[in-house]
Structure 1
Amino acid sequence: MSDLYSEFLVKKEPTTKDAVIKYGMIILTAVAAAAGLLFSFVFLLAAVVLGVACYFIVPRTDLEYEYLFVNGEMDIDMVMAKSKRKKAITVNIKEADLVAPVDSHRLDYYNSSSKMKTLDYSSGNPDHKRFAVITRDKGENCRIIIEPDEQMQQAIKNSAPSKVFFD
């Protein structure tokens, strides 16, 4: 028996918010360091605290999502600054309610629900073909947005043909 296997890497496109956070933190750290050297030791301590915060926050503005699909189960990992990897979520496609393009009419019922949690693991570009996976996460309905390539789309379709739509 052959396994359904596919993997794909999607780079999240930087947003204005990401740029403001990244460069704002760096500029604040530099200003606090200069003020610490010129005026008071307190500003130097603030610069150290901001520098440590930059170490943890700035890599989160450079994200890639790695999809690994094996036999009906999709693992999504976040790769931060091409150096740190963190497991984001595991989705069993066979247990999902529906997999369809984000703009599909099949999602109309789910889009009307205001209580549905949305997790976006795509590039964020509306021109790319993005899919919504409707499933349950910790007891509540959840919409997971992904951006698989053609090979992964076929593997997903083959694992749960009655739940996956391409229209």
Structure 2
Amino acid sequence: MNDFYEQFVGRKDSRLYNYIKFLMYATSFIALVFFAIMKIIGFIIFAVIAVLIFVARRKLYVEYEYSFTNGEIDIDKIIDKNNRKTAANFQIRDIELMAKAESDFVKSSDFKYDKELNCYNNCNNSDIYSILTVCNQEKLRINFGPDKKFIEVCFSMNPRKVKTSLR
């Protein structure tokens, strides 16, 4: 059986992101003004501030991609549209539980996790699900925002561990 499904979770620019972008452009402009009037100290200060804001802005623009391939789930974190890092990679048959994050299934689970990963954007309108699993010898709780199709594909591969309703 050859199952494949991929979900991209983009993001919308928040007010904070737009404000930081404006600050970056404003400080760059001020640095250029200082450079034009030959005030090197002012130029250096504002140029450094602009570079620091640029780095902070890049860290704020985060998107996620969830892919399901033949029972293997990959969750990738995409920073500033070009740097991709794998946040988690595991088999659906090896999970302890997958359910809505606020469900009784997750709350009553006796699974003690070492680390919690939040792999969703705050601007998403989808429900947040939690996966309790062991990934690379580390017990994880992975919070993410899958769509219905992604949940259905996971349920078809492991119906005993994937819970699709609240109780």
| 2:7 corresponding residue in structure 1 | 8
What is the Cα deviation at residue 14 of structure 1?
4.1
Q: Does 1:44 align with 2:43?
A: yes
Q: Is the 8 A contact 2:11 2:124 kept in 1?
A: no
Structure 1 runs of 4+ aligned residues shifted over 6 Å read none
What is the Cα deviation at residue 112 of structure 1?
10
SS at match of 2:146: coil
What is the Cα deviation at residue 152 of structure 1?
1.2
Query: Aligned partners of 1:74 and 1:7: how far apart in 2?
Result: 10
Equivalent positions of 1:86-165 (< 5 A) are 86-92=84-90, 93-109=92-108, 116-125=114-123, 127-137=125-135, 139-165=137-163
SS at match of 2:9: strand
Q: Is the 8 A contact 1:69 1:75 kept in 2?
A: yes
Which sections of structure 2, spanning at least 5 residues, go unmatched? none
When the two chains are superposed, the root-mean-square deviation of aligned CA atoms in Å is 3.1
Letter of the 2:63 partner, please give it: E
| 2:164 corresponding residue in structure 1 | 166
Q: Is the 8 A contact 2:88 2:135 kept in 1?
A: no
SS at match of 1:163: coil
Distance 1:139 1:42, change over 3 A: farther
Letter of the 1:68 partner, please give it: S
Overall identity of the aligned pairs, in %:
22
Taking structure 1 as the reference length, the TM-score comes to 0.76
Residues paired across the two proteins, number:
164
Letter of the 2:146 partner, please give it: P
| 1:68 corresponding residue in structure 2 | 67
SS at match of 2:139: strand
Q: Is the 8 A contact 1:94 1:160 kept in 2?
A: yes
Query: Aligned partners of 1:10 and 1:119: how far apart in 2?
Result: 16
Distance 1:111 1:81, change over 3 A: farther
Q: Is the 8 A contact 1:8 1:66 kept in 2?
A: yes
Which sections of structure 1, spanning at least 5 residues, go unmatched? none
| 1:18-77 deviation digits (Å, cap 9, x = unpaired) | 344433333333334434444621232234434444554433333321111112211122
